Amino acid sequence: LDERGKPTSKAIIEGANLYLTQDARRFLEEKGCLIIKDSSANKTGVICSSFEILCGLTLGEKQFIQHKATLVGEILDRLKECAANEANLLLRTYKTSGTPLTQISAMISDRINQYTYELLDYLDQIPLVNDPNDPLIACFLSYCLPTLRTHFQKELLQEIPEHHKKAIISAHIAAHLVYKRGLEWTLSIVDILPILLREKE
């Protein structure tokens, strides 16, 4: 803080494992500092790890090395899209509600997790079919990187465990819903699953 008690930074972006305490966040936000919470600032790191696992389960080392440059480019493109979705929802909600960004960040994570678990509980009761034209499998494939989807669709369908596919489908739809419709939308996700699947096609 400067001699007038005001933050010397207009904004703070928390780094991985270098975050502020909740009391410090609240104090600085009350002083007018914008804080991007670690869970929002580092979300693309988690997403990147999911693609590493997906590639590892689908490709052998030789195939991965052969397509590595293309896959890295596709992952970076997806991460930019995901980061933009997070930032846009954060700022849009902040502009309309005035709620501190750290609270909005927690609300986004909570809502995505809520819908993911609702969907996963539902999907765990039904078997998946390995038909690319099936709406659920089409949703799974739409999450996968273009190179995997185009050249290794058979491997994706055969090598990825069913529960892993269901987890991807659930998280993919949940994130799409929250980023597209915002935090005000509160209906049960399972009730409108057919509509969401059509949106993802």
Question: Which residues are CB-contacts of 55 (< 8 A; sequence separation ≥ 6)?
Answer: 64, 71, 145, 148
- Kindly state the tokens that stand for 180: 């597209």
Q: By the 8 A CB rule, do 146 and 73 touch?
A: no
Count of alpha carbons within 13 Å of 174, Cβ hemisphere only? 21
173, 189 Cβ separation under 8 angstroms? yes
CA distances from 170 to 29, 37, 160, 193 (A): 33, 24, 15, 10
**14 within 8 A of 38, measured Cβ to Cβ:** yes
Residue 194: predicted pLDDT = 65
Q: CA end-to-end span of the chain, whole Å?
A: 50
Is the confidence at residue 34, as pLDDT, over 90?
yes
More confident residue, 201 or 135: 135
Residue type, 55: C
**Tens-digit pLDDT profile for residues 143-194:** 999 999 999 999 999 999 999 999 999 999 999 989 998 988 766 666 666 6
State the pLDDT at residue 19.
Answer: 77
Per the prediction, the chain carries an average pLDDT of 90
From its phi and psi, is residue 127 left (phi > 0), alpha (psi between -120 and 50) or beta?
A: beta
Closest C-alpha among 46, 48, 6 to residue 30 = 6
What is the C-alpha radius of gyration for the chain, rounded to an integer number of angstroms? 19
Instruction: Report how far residue 47's alpha carbon sits from residue 63's, in angstroms, rounded to the nearest whole number.
Output: 21
Instruction: Quote the pLDDT of residue 187.
Output: 65
Helix (H) or strand (E) holding 154: helix 153-159
The confidence band for 48, taking pLDDT boundaries of 50, 70 and 90, is very high
The pTM for the full model equals: 0.86
Please write the tens of the pLDDT for every residue from 67-113. 999 999 999 999 999 999 999 999 999 999 999 999 999 999 999 99
- State the sign of the Cα–Cα–Cα–Cα dihedral 39, 45, 49, 55: positive
Give the tens place of pLDDT for each residue, 2-23: 999 999 999 999 987 777 888 9
d(CA 80, CA 66) in angstroms, rounded, equals 24
| Predicted confidence (pLDDT) at residue 200 exceeds the cutoff of 60 | no
